[in-house]
Structure 1
Amino acid sequence: MSSQQRLYEIDALRGLSLLGIILMNILVFSFPYEESLLSDVVHGTDAILLHGITLLIIGSFYPIFTFLFGFGLSIMYDNCHMKGINYYPIIFRRLIFLMLMGVLHGFFVFSGDILFGYAFTGLIAVLFIKSKAKRLIKAAIILFILKILLLVIPFAVFSLINDPYTQHNFSGVSLSKLIEIKQQGLYTDFLKINALENLYNVLDVVTGSAYFEFLPYILLGIAAQKLKLVKKIQLRKQSAIKWGILCLIIGYIVKMPFALDFSNSAYQNINIVGGPIVATGYILIFIAMYQSTRIAHLLKVFTYPGKLSLSVYLTQSIVLSLIFLGIGGGLYNQLPLYQSYIIALLIYCLQLVGCYYYLKHFKMGPFEWLWRKITYLK
């Protein structure tokens, strides 16, 4: 298998992860998902939908995107090494610019930004870019175990001892006021809340998430590229599918309590463990299925947004803001959840079509073009 073919599979997986991301983010954009006691506000068809989304999507797609970010860091290192170019000035410029993009996106558009977290953690990960794959895998496993011991178990126990159905609102305003501002308020009113929430997000990244939520998967992505994971899966497709199914079974079992009781914060902490296991299953099965020419022809559609991932991700936030916030359609907390998901799927489908035609005329998206200019200074 050529490197070009392997790149198609990674692009397609990245495109699929962007679908998962919009299916997660639509919850925060469309109603007070994080601030509400969900069992009180989600009922009937919407509740059934949220049970399924929680099991299949929540916490299971950001690890894929993070893994692919590490994969990309390693590809760039190999490219620089082959061309005799000093890797570190290039990658530091690339990551610092991405961090700036994340700050702007997080403060002015969406406080749930992931770009800052990726960039900050990437600055740590590149220090280990020359490490052997086995060492990177061991480090990732150790960090994952530490996360369970230091964060998941203590917080889950604390929630169970106290009240697992207590919701936290970091915006500093009442729930009714929050809904009013996002639904009808001026952009300046929204900005005050969003900036405060994003400040919490940035502090969370710097003090904890970078090391336990992002770094393990970035290191695994680097290791996977070094080990030529795609080629190995091509040679052992059936084995990859079996391991993938096993990961899905284990991951779904771990995630099931939160999927059934999505208001329980203790189960939410446990979900943090199940999500990456499910993500591993998705990665193995997706790449293995891509080896079938017939299936690859269908999955190729995901390569189009995958090649423009930064532009697609940022566009999703901008469009969802214009639809749901008061500065645009003002549909925040107005629609049944299933209708919000129809909107999310329509947006993604339009992005698929738009990316397909865009790539017929351009090699990279507008944000990718700017990112490349800053990275290589040319």
Structure 2
Amino acid sequence: MPNSTLSIKAPRIEVVDALRGFAIMSIMFLHNIEHFDYYYLPEYLPEWIKSLDKIIWETLFFLFGGKSYAIFALLFGFSFYIQNDNQERKGKDFRMRFLWRLLLLLGFGIFNTIFYEGDILVIYAVLGIVLIPVCKWSDKAVFVTAIILMLQPLEWIKCFYMLLHPEYIPGPNISNAYFKLMGEYLKSNSFMDHAIGNLKFGRWASIFWCWENGRFFQAPALFMFGMLMGRRKLFIASQESNLFWKKVLLFSFLLFLPLYGFKFFSSQIIEHKSMLKTLSVIVKSWSNFAFMMFMVAVFVLLYQKERVQNILSGLIPFGKMSLTNYIMQSIVGSFIYYRYGLGLVEYTGATYSLLIGIVLFLLQLWFCKWWLNKNKQGPLEYIWHKATWVSLKKNNNF
């Protein structure tokens, strides 16, 4: 039995680490073309560069916008399953330890917010609490709950309310006010102005944006789907898992097409702007989910082909050090683009920023390989792991 467990564990970890590396890489590319949420388009750039910028911007957001973080959330739930399952096999309850682990993640997120207000770790640390009660539920109960959350129930309530009260006009998004305040301190050359501004205003801009765009419902649903994938061994190559991913490949593509087409025809069908905005949150959430699942299915199926696996496995070191890479890119990226650092926001459009992102990715990948040749975990992963299992009692292995 122990040998069987070890034989199925390695490939699962490999494909998940590679997939996580892919997600972090694509997040890095998006953050770079966004200048880490410092939106600015240099006017002096030649027209051909501006045209290329537009193509790159639209292409990257089509491929990765809302999908990369969705993959990250899916794997967050999967990782929880692995840790919880390992402890259950030892007869231990992981739930309170996981709560402490989330508190530590919150600390990492607050630190990351100093450099980049769009940090997602704080959101995951808070919403990840949902996994503590549901981990004891049946697969069916978890699946139904995840589907309900994915349906964006709050947005549907808004829609029904607007149907009953056509005269109702909701107020502006709260996040807009905080983003406006961000615009003031982003002009500063002082790092302290940025740090204080991010913690005081930028953090709330990100939180309210996530709330207004359905992330508070979508993320917990993805956590649960990831946990279910762990239970069903869907990242382990087998006839059953292959069939599952092939079905996902087909159905997610068929689901994505009409959802994506909605944004092109919705304004012609729905005249009520407030309702259109609410429905767009619902449709965009499902559209991103469908395309994300399509990408994951393609990745998992291709990973089983030896030639392709040799290429994709190169992302494993990057995925193993995802926490380190995520925070490192915020520190380096903000210094590159913000005015307290190199201030390249004034000189780079999407094309140049993507090239910078590619260079940063290659440098980080080299660092990951170098570090993991000498260590089992990345530096921040090591700290997180050690702090997770710290014990105040002597001779307490838990």
Report whether the alignment pairs 1:140 with 2:139: no
Instruction: Give the 3 Å change call, closer, same or farther, for CA 33–276 of structure 1 in structure 2.
Output: farther
Alignment of 1:251-262 (within 5 A): 251=256, 254-255=259-260
Name the counterpart of 1:62: 69
Deviations 1:6-45 (A, max 9, x none): 111111111111112112222432564499xxxxx99411
Q: Secondary structure, in 3 states, of the residue corresponding to 1:230?
A: coil
1:197 to 191, 194, 202: 202
Deviations 1:65-111 (A, max 9, x none): 000000001111111011222312321111110012112212x1111
Larger Rg: 2
Aligned length: 362
Instruction: Give the 3 Å change call, closer, same or farther, for CA 152–312 of structure 1 in structure 2.
Output: farther
| Aligned mates of 2:237, 2:214 — CA distance in 1 | 31
Report whether the alignment pairs 1:368 with 2:375: no
Report whether the alignment pairs 1:72 with 2:96: no
Name the counterpart of 1:334: 347
Instruction: Give the 3 Å change call, closer, same or farther, for CA 319–76 of structure 1 in structure 2.
Output: same
Report whether the alignment pairs 1:241 with 2:246: yes
| Aligned mates of 2:20, 2:182 — CA distance in 1 | 37
1:99 to 87, 95, 106: 106
2:18 to 12, 17, 24: 12
Contact 1:15-1:309 within 8 A present in 2 as well: yes
Name the counterpart of 1:170: 178
Contact 1:152-1:272 within 8 A present in 2 as well: no
Alignment of 1:302-321 (within 5 A): 302-321=315-334
Percent of aligned pairs with the same amino acid = 23
| Aligned mates of 2:231, 2:159 — CA distance in 1 | 33
2:93 counterpart letter in structure 1: N
| Aligned mates of 2:53, 2:212 — CA distance in 1 | 35
Aligned-residue offset at 1:356: 1.4
Contact 1:54-1:259 within 8 A present in 2 as well: no
Alignment of 1:209-220 (within 5 A): 211-220=216-225
Give unmatched runs, 5+ long, in structure 1.
Answer: 36-40
Give unmatched runs, 5+ long, in structure 2.
Answer: 1-6, 42-46, 266-272, 392-398
1:288 to 286, 301, 317: 301
| Aligned mates of 2:40, 2:66 — CA distance in 1 | 14
Contact 1:121-1:210 within 8 A present in 2 as well: no
Deviations 1:235-294 (A, max 9, x none): 45366235315424542553467699xxx9949634333111111111111111111122
Deviations 1:136-180 (A, max 9, x none): 11111111113484389689999xx9999xx935244485x5553
| Aligned mates of 1:73, 1:172 — CA distance in 2 | 37
| Aligned mates of 2:131, 2:214 — CA distance in 1 | 14
Aligned-residue offset at 1:349: 1.6
Contact 1:132-1:223 within 8 A present in 2 as well: no
Alignment of 1:2-41 (within 5 A): 2-29=8-35, 32-33=38-39
1:130 to 129, 136, 145: 136
